[in-house]
Amino acid sequence: MLDHLASGHGHPQACYTLASYYAGSQDSEERKRVPDLLHTAAEAGIGAAWTQLGVLFGSGQDIVEIDLSKSLECYQKAASLDNPQGAFAAGTMWMDGKGTPASTKDFSKALNYFKQAAERGEIQAQTTRIHCQKMLMCS
């Protein structure tokens, strides 16, 4: 019922918060609502919701089928909204060739995402960026 109130009344932040709550629930019916709630919040421009959708598609969490290409797409959308965690995750997927077309590793794209994440305060992106630069020089 809460999810209908949140999404039906145009409250994307409420959808995101409720999805986060439901994701940790033991109730399978509540957990099934997570993707729709996150998608509502994401479409309204909440970058963290795109990041959480990326996590969901990357792991399945017994809620959705694992789909690494959808996971990457969600992370890239999060990055386009200046979400540092999404940018870091997109960079990691490009560096590892996960979810990318033909499992292609692209250190240049990865480096751009790591740079974006680092500039927005993602600490781990700063060290990963250095590693990626070395990989780019060796390729």
| Rounded CA Rg of the chain | 16
Place of tokens 């709630």: 37
Q: Which amino acid is at 122?
A: E
Say which residues have a Cβ less than 8 Å from residue 13's Cβ, sequence separation at least 6. 41, 46
Q: Is residue 6 part of a domain?
A: no
How many domains does the structure of the chain reveal?
Answer: 1
Q: Is residue 72 part of a domain?
A: yes
User: Where does the pLDDT of residue 5 fall: very low under 50, low under 70, confident under 90, or very high at 90 and above?
Assistant: low
Q: Is residue 108 part of a domain?
A: yes
Phi first, then psi: give them for residue 104, nearest 5 degrees. Answer: -75, 130
Q: Which amino acid is at 14?
A: A
Q: What is the pLDDT of residue 1?
A: 46
Q: What is the pLDDT of residue 135?
A: 73
Q: Is residue 50 part of a domain?
A: no
Say which residues have a Cβ less than 8 Å from residue 35's Cβ, sequence separation at least 6. 53, 56, 63, 64
Q: Is residue 109 part of a domain?
A: yes
CA distance 101 to 103: 5
Q: Is residue 4 part of a domain?
A: no
Write the CATH number for 100: 1.25.40.10
Question: Would you state the structure tokens that stand for residue 9, as one six-digit string?
Answer: 């009344």
Residues 18-71: tens digit of each pLDDT: 999 999 999 989 999 999 999 999 999 999 999 999 999 999 988 999 999 999
Domain of 93 in residue numbering reads as 66-139
Q: Is residue 45 part of a domain?
A: no
Q: What is the pLDDT of residue 61?
A: 86
More confident residue, 37 or 5: 37
Say which residues have a Cβ less than 8 Å from residue 88's Cβ, sequence separation at least 6. 113, 114, 117, 122, 124, 125, 128
Residues 70-127: tens digit of each pLDDT: 999 999 999 999 999 999 999 999 999 999 999 999 999 999 999 999 999 998 998 8
